[in-house]
Amino acid sequence: MAAKYSSDVIIVGGGLAGLAAADDLIGFGKEVLVLERDLPENVGGLARKSFGGLMFVGSPEQRRFRITDSPELAWSDWQSYAEFEDDDVLPREWAKVYVENSIEFIYDWLKRKKVSFLPITNWTEHGFDRRGNSVPRWHITWGTGYAIVEAVLKSLFDHPARKNLQILFSHRGEEPDEQGGHIVGVAGHREDTGEEFTAHAGAIVLASGGICGGDLSKVRRYWNKELGSRPSVLLNGSHRYADGLMLDTVSRHGGKLTHLDQHWHYAAGIYHPVPKQDNDGLSLVPPRSALWLAACGRRFAPIPLVSYTDTKYLVELICKSPGQYSWQVLNWKIAIRELAVSGSDYMTAIRNKQRLRFLRELLMGNKILVNRLMKESEDFVSAGSLSELAGKMDELSQPGFKIDREGFLKDVRDYDAQVAAGIEHFRDEQLLMIANFRKYRGDRIRLCKYQRIDDPKAYPLIAIREFILSRKSLGGIQTDMKSRVLSDTGSDLPGLYAIGEAAGFGGGGIHGKRSLEGTFLGSCILTGRVAAEAIAKG
């Protein structure tokens, strides 16, 4: 006999979007049942693993750092970066709601849950051939994304209406139940026992995440041709249940899926030292003072690759280069000051809220992280000379590729000669970019002051082999401004809502082609809260 459940609202997926919706819904007096495929220790989905960087516009942290921002400026940046198509009406509207309400809907909501942010706002995605963030907007959560999830869970479990919330783990939602044109429930199976279940409610909210995890087959199927061809090695930076199962079934029930070919991949992925799934990857935040080299060991030309510019452009250039992977060449001094990992598991001082250690690492460098990566990662090699380094890179090169020794030595020496010549003689685009980055106080503290690569005082030399890493789906289920799922004809599917990554973070693709960063977690909260209000107020 299949188990039967009922509630006012059923949420399929207990990631940040699902939990945010649940929190507001029980506040509105609704009974909520969350169906989550995963185990209790993974509740919170990707947010639990995330860095916890959020985009806010006009925050107290920005003001304290004398950063002048406004919804108008952010809206202009977002449109420039997104390259929305003419018919992206709903994605555009959602984006506008984000920039106009990021403080009230997201920042204040998190603050009420005692979430706090580092005092220095980061300046991500400056843009490359189109404008990205005109000002710093990326607020890192003290405690990383892990702290966000813990704060939302605490809010749920301490809530006076706690009894109205039930979370069932190992429950995989599969098929919406449609009766008389209304979605009234969802059927599925338990992951652990295989038993069948059905669940019924007045409203069903899909919060099951994107398609950029699972076995990556959907990422390959919907590969964006603008990026060039699919790389032969593609690392998985998402989770095993981000397989788009619910998107497929919603589409069978007439729900519209849009922008499935828009993904947010990262250019500096390494194999996860402790893999939990096939091709599991870690995304590095690449040092800007490192040289970014193609598979052959030469710098990308005519413009060198530098992170914090335009992630889509970095990915595209690497996908279009022979080998479709890259190297970063640096030294110990650069690594301890500039290298970071995007994720809670490796940024342990922030994750564990160790204030003194964090300050020490900011001032003296993060030796613990670099030592750990050098010890654990198969993609790191180190050496005491450039020719020894090139030899070790050769051993790690993909079949059919070798380091062009002469070219490699020339590129490093040319760069180092420019550094030695001094700032007034810089012609190298990377050095000019670094000089520009260093004008911002928040970047100066995280950047070396024009550091040579082949500098014995900064040894050992380090090379990192990097692959494209798949992380987030920018498209998904099309929703209206109340998070209701829309059909191909534009009418809503009564009773059905979609939020977070499942809904392309709002409207089926709030980001267009690019994200200004920190907009993923933020949009999960925004879309989850909008759905909760729409359901509660009818």
Ligand X SMILES: Cc1cc2nc3c(=O)[nH]c(=O)nc-3n(C[C@H](O)[C@H](O)[C@H](O)COP(=O)(O)OP(=O)(O)OC[C@H]3O[C@@H](n4cnc5c(N)ncnc54)[C@H](O)[C@@H]3O)c2cc1C
3-state secondary structure 103-157: HHHHHHHHHHCCCCECCCCECCCCECCCECCCCCCEEEECCHHHHHHHHHHHHHH
14 touching ligand X, by CB under 6 A: yes
50 touching ligand X, by CB under 6 A: yes
Whole-angstrom Cα distance, residue 60 to residue 509?
Answer: 29
Q: What separation in angstroms does the CA of 473 have from each of 93, 224, 236, 243?
A: 19, 11, 12, 11
Confirm if 302 and 294 have CB atoms less than 8 A apart: no
Part of the chain binding ligand X (CB under 6 A), chosen from 65-73, 238-246, 347-355, 461-469: 238-246
Q: How many CA atoms lie within 13 A of 256 on its CB side?
A: 20
Part of the chain binding ligand X (CB under 6 A), chosen from 36-44, 313-321, 324-332, 350-358: 36-44
Residue with Cβ nearer ligand X (411 or 480)? 480
DSSP letters spanning 214-251: TTSHHHHHT--GGG-SPPSSEEE-S-TT-S-HHHHHHH
524 touching ligand X, by CB under 6 A: yes
520 touching ligand X, by CB under 6 A: yes
Part of the chain binding ligand X (CB under 6 A), chosen from 50-58, 60-68, 102-110, 408-416: 50-58
Whole-angstrom Cα distance, residue 343 to residue 139?
Answer: 14
- Residue from 10, 165, 207, 317 binding ligand X (CB under 6 A): 207
Whole-angstrom Cα distance, residue 390 to residue 37?
Answer: 46
Residue with Cβ nearer ligand X (204 or 486)? 204
Residue with Cβ nearer ligand X (33 or 453)? 33
- How near is the Cβ of 293 to ligand X at its closest, in Å? 25
- Residue from 31, 36, 61, 69 binding ligand X (CB under 6 A): 36
518 touching ligand X, by CB under 6 A: yes
| 199 three-class SS | strand
Say which amino acid occupies 260.
L
531 touching ligand X, by CB under 6 A: no
13 touching ligand X, by CB under 6 A: yes
Largest CA distance in the chain: 78
Total residues binding ligand X (CB under 6 A): 42
242 touching ligand X, by CB under 6 A: yes
Residue with Cβ nearer ligand X (389 or 521)? 521
Residue 487 token pair: 């059909």
Part of the chain binding ligand X (CB under 6 A), chosen from 92-100, 108-116, 155-163, 520-528: 520-528
- Interacting residues toward ligand X by CB under 6 A: 12-18, 35-38, 45-47, 49-53, 145, 172-173, 207-209, 237-238, 241-242, 245-246, 342-343, 471-472, 500-501, 518-521, 524
